[in-house]
Structure 1
Amino acid sequence: MLRNFNIPTASIALSGLLLFLYAVLMQSSDYKGSSLDSGGRVVIPAPILLFLYGGDRFFAANMETARLAATGVDFGQADMDYLVRAQAVVSELNPCHEDNYYLANGFLTWGGADQVGSSILKRAASCRFWDEYPAFFYGFNQFFFEKNLEQASLYLEMAARRSSQNAASFRKFAIMIRAEQIEDAELAIKFVESERDKSADAKLKDMLNKRVMRLKGLVLLRDAQRRFELLRGKKLESPEELLEAGLIDTLPDDPLRLGYEFIDHRFVLRQIKFSGAEEE
C-alpha cells in the first residue's frame, strides 16, 4: 500500500521560488543566453534584482551601481560588454540614478557604445526633470554621433529651461547647431576635456583623457583629408592615399583600441556593435 507523503510547505515555496526566478531570467530582455559577460562577471537581470532586494528598485539600483564602481575594468571588449549590460540594468531599475547616467556618458558614450549611453541619458533626462545635464549630454550626443540636429536642438533647449547658470550657453549652442556652424570634432574635444577636468574620480578622469586622445586622432585624420583634397582637387577615396601623399606618417593610434572608420568619404569614430542595443 502506498504511503501518503506530506510535502513540507517550505519545499513547495522553495520550488515555486526557483521556478519563478528561472522564468524571469529566461524572459528578461537583458538575458542573452547567459548572465555572464565574456569576462566571467555576473550581470543579473533587473526583475531578479528587484525580487532579491525586496521590491525596492532604488536600493537595488544603488547596490548595483556600487558593485559596478567597485569592479575593475580595463576597457577591452569584455569590459564594454559588462558595462553595457550592467548600466542598462541600473537604468531599468532607476532611470533617475545620477551616478549611473554620468558614468554611462563617460564610459559608454565615448567608449564606442554611444547608442546605449544615449539611451540611458534619454531616460534620465525624462526622469530628472529638474536636472539640465542629462538633457545636455543627450543633446550633444545627438549632434555629434547621430547628426540629428532637430533632436539635439530640442534637448539643448530643454537643458536651457532647466538651468539657471548655463541657459544662455545652451541656447547659443542650440542656435549654432541649427545653423550648422560647428566643427564637431574640435567641439567634442573641448567638451570631453571640460568633463575630464571637472571629474574628481581618478578612473573616470583617465578614461576621459583617453577619449580626448582618441578625438585628437580623428581631428588629425580630418585635417589631413582637407589638405589632400585641396592639393589634389578631388575627394579622398581611402585612408591609404594620405600615407602615399606623405600627409601623415602613420594612422593615429586609438588608446581605446577601437580605431577609426572611413565611411562615405568621411572619417568617424569606430563604434562597438551590440546586439539588441538600439536607442529607444
Structure 2
Amino acid sequence: MKTLRLLSLCLLGWAVFSWANLQLRSHPRLDEDDLLRVRLPRLVQLAYSASDPWLAANLNVFRSLMVDINTREAETYRVQGQLQVDAAFFNPWHEDNYYLAAAILPWNGQLEAGQEVLLRASNARQWDMWPAFYYAFNTMYFEHDMEKAGHWAEIAATRNPGNAPALRAMAAAWYERGDDPRLAMDVLEKMYEGSRDTNFRSLLAARYQRLQGLLGLRQALAAYRAQHGENPQQLEQLIGYGDLEAMPKDPLKAGYILDAVGQVQLADHIKKQTAR
C-alpha cells in the first residue's frame, strides 16, 4: 500500500511538472535567440536530465555556447554565469565549461562566476594545468591579488613539467608585484632552491637582487621620514639614511621610483598600473 501511494505521488508530481513545461511553450519569448533569461533551479535541471548530473552539465554548457560572441547584454552574461556555475556543480571535470568560462565570463562582468568554475575545475582536474593557470591569471589581472595569483601559477607549474619554468617565472613576477618585498624574496629563494634550470635560476636571482634594492630603499625612506617628517622629492635624497650607501642597481634595468603617495616602487610596475 505504501509503495502504491509513493508511486501515485511520483506520477502526480511528474504530471504537474509536465503540465508546467507545456505552459511555458505558449509563454511570450524574446525575438533574439542568442539572449539568455532563464536559469532553472538545480533540482529542476536534474529532473529535465533524467537525474543525470553530467547530462545536466552538458545542457547548461550547450546553452552557454549558443550565446553570440558579439552580445553585450549584461543580463545574458549574468544568466550564463549561473548556468556555467551549475554545470561546474554537476560536473567539475567538464573541459568545455571551464574553457568557456575563462574566455567569456571575466571579460563580461562575471568574474566571480568564472572564478568559481575555474576553481572547481582546478580542484577536480589535478592533472590539468590550464584551469589553475586561468584562475591565477584572473586573480592577477582582475582581482590584483598577486600573492594568490603566484600561488596558483605554482600549482599550474606542478601539473605540467614541460611548462614549469615559464609558469614559475610568471609566479615569481606576480609575487614580486606584491607590496611585501620580504615575502616575495622568501618565495623567490625557495623557488631558486627547488629549480635545476640554469636560466630560470638566473632570472630568479635577478628578481631577488632587485627586491633587495627595493627593501633597502624602503628602509632608508622610513629613516628619512622619521628624521624629516616628510617624503623626499627624489630617491637620491635617501642615500645616507638607514644602511643605504648608494643607489641600488636593478639587474633588470627598470629601476626604482617614488609613487604618488611617496612609497618606493619598482618603476616598471608603476608604468603598468598607469597604462592600465
- TM-score, scaled to structure 1: 0.52
Native 8 Å contact 1:125 1:134 kept in 2: yes
| Alpha-carbon separation, structure 1, partners of 2:10 and 2:97 | 35
Q: SS state of the match for residue 43, structure 1?
A: coil
Q: Per the alignment, do residues 15 and 137 of structure 1 end up closer, same or farther by CA in structure 2, a change over 3 Å counting?
A: same
Q: Tell me which amino acid in the other structure corresponds to 1:79.
A: T
Native 8 Å contact 2:37 2:76 kept in 1: no
Query: Tell me, which stretches of 5 or more residues in structure 1 are unaligned?
Result: 1-6, 22-35, 182-232, 237-265, 270-280
For 1:144, the equivalent position in structure 2 comes to 141
Native 8 Å contact 1:46 1:92 kept in 2: no
Q: Per the alignment, do residues 85 and 78 of structure 1 end up closer, same or farther by CA in structure 2, a change over 3 Å counting?
A: same
For 2:40, the equivalent position in structure 1 comes to 44
For 2:161, the equivalent position in structure 1 comes to 164
Describe how 1:206-217 pairs up with structure 2 within 5 A: none
Tell me the alpha carbon deviations over residues 28-56 of structure 1, each in whole angstroms, 9 at most, x when there is no partner: xxxxxxxx99x663222222222322222
Native 8 Å contact 1:46 1:90 kept in 2: no
For 2:189, the equivalent position in structure 1 comes to none
| Alpha-carbon separation, structure 1, partners of 2:80 and 2:275 | 23
Q: SS state of the match for residue 95, structure 1?
A: coil
Tell me the alpha carbon deviations over residues 153-204 of structure 1, each in whole angstroms, 9 at most, x when there is no partner: 11111100001321111000111111119xxxxxxxxxxxxxxxxxxxxxxx
* Count of residue pairs brought into register by the alignment: 169
Deviating 4+ runs (over 6 angstroms): 7-10, 18-21, 266-269
Q: Tell me which amino acid in the other structure corresponds to 2:148.
A: Q
Q: What displacement does 1:57 show?
A: 1.0
Q: What displacement does 1:8 show?
A: 9.6
Native 8 Å contact 1:125 1:135 kept in 2: yes
Q: Tell me which amino acid in the other structure corresponds to 1:70.
A: M
Native 8 Å contact 2:78 2:110 kept in 1: no
For 1:69, the equivalent position in structure 2 comes to 65
| Alpha-carbon separation, structure 2, partners of 1:67 and 1:166 | 33
Tell me the alpha carbon deviations over residues 58-86 of structure 1, each in whole angstroms, 9 at most, x when there is no partner: 12211221232134461211221221122
Q: What displacement does 1:127 show?
A: 0.7
For 2:205, the equivalent position in structure 1 comes to none
Q: Give the structure with the larger helix fraction.
A: 2
| Alpha-carbon separation, structure 1, partners of 2:111 and 2:7 | 47
Q: Which of 91, 115, 130 is the equivalent residue of 2:112? A: 115
| Alpha-carbon separation, structure 2, partners of 1:18 and 1:9 | 14
Q: SS state of the match for residue 123, structure 2?
A: helix
Q: Per the alignment, do residues 71 and 108 of structure 1 end up closer, same or farther by CA in structure 2, a change over 3 Å counting?
A: closer
| Alpha-carbon separation, structure 2, partners of 1:40 and 1:127 | 28
| Alpha-carbon separation, structure 2, partners of 1:137 and 1:45 | 28
Tell me the alpha carbon deviations over residues 232-254 of structure 1, each in whole angstroms, 9 at most, x when there is no partner: x9969xxxxxxxxxxxxxxxxxx
- Larger gyration radius, structure 1 or structure 2: 2
C-alpha RMSD over aligned residues: 3.6
For 2:235, the equivalent position in structure 1 comes to none
- TM-score, scaled to structure 2: 0.52
Q: Which of 81, 87, 90 is the equivalent residue of 1:90? A: 87
Q: What displacement does 1:149 show?
A: 1.9
| Alpha-carbon separation, structure 2, partners of 1:76 and 1:166 | 37
**Which gives a bigger RCO, structure 1 or 2 (Cα 8 Å, sep 6+)?**
1
Q: Per the alignment, do residues 149 and 19 of structure 1 end up closer, same or farther by CA in structure 2, a change over 3 Å counting?
A: farther
| Alpha-carbon separation, structure 2, partners of 1:88 and 1:46 | 11
Give % identity: 31
| Alpha-carbon separation, structure 2, partners of 1:142 and 1:163 | 20
Q: SS state of the match for residue 40, structure 2?
A: coil
Q: Per the alignment, do residues 267 and 49 of structure 1 end up closer, same or farther by CA in structure 2, a change over 3 Å counting?
A: farther
Q: Verify: 1:56 aligned to 2:38, yes or no.
A: no
Native 8 Å contact 1:104 1:117 kept in 2: yes
Q: Per the alignment, do residues 9 and 104 of structure 1 end up closer, same or farther by CA in structure 2, a change over 3 Å counting?
A: closer
For 1:26, the equivalent position in structure 2 comes to none
Q: Per the alignment, do residues 9 and 145 of structure 1 end up closer, same or farther by CA in structure 2, a change over 3 Å counting?
A: closer
For 1:180, the equivalent position in structure 2 comes to 177
Q: Tell me which amino acid in the other structure corresponds to 2:51.
A: G
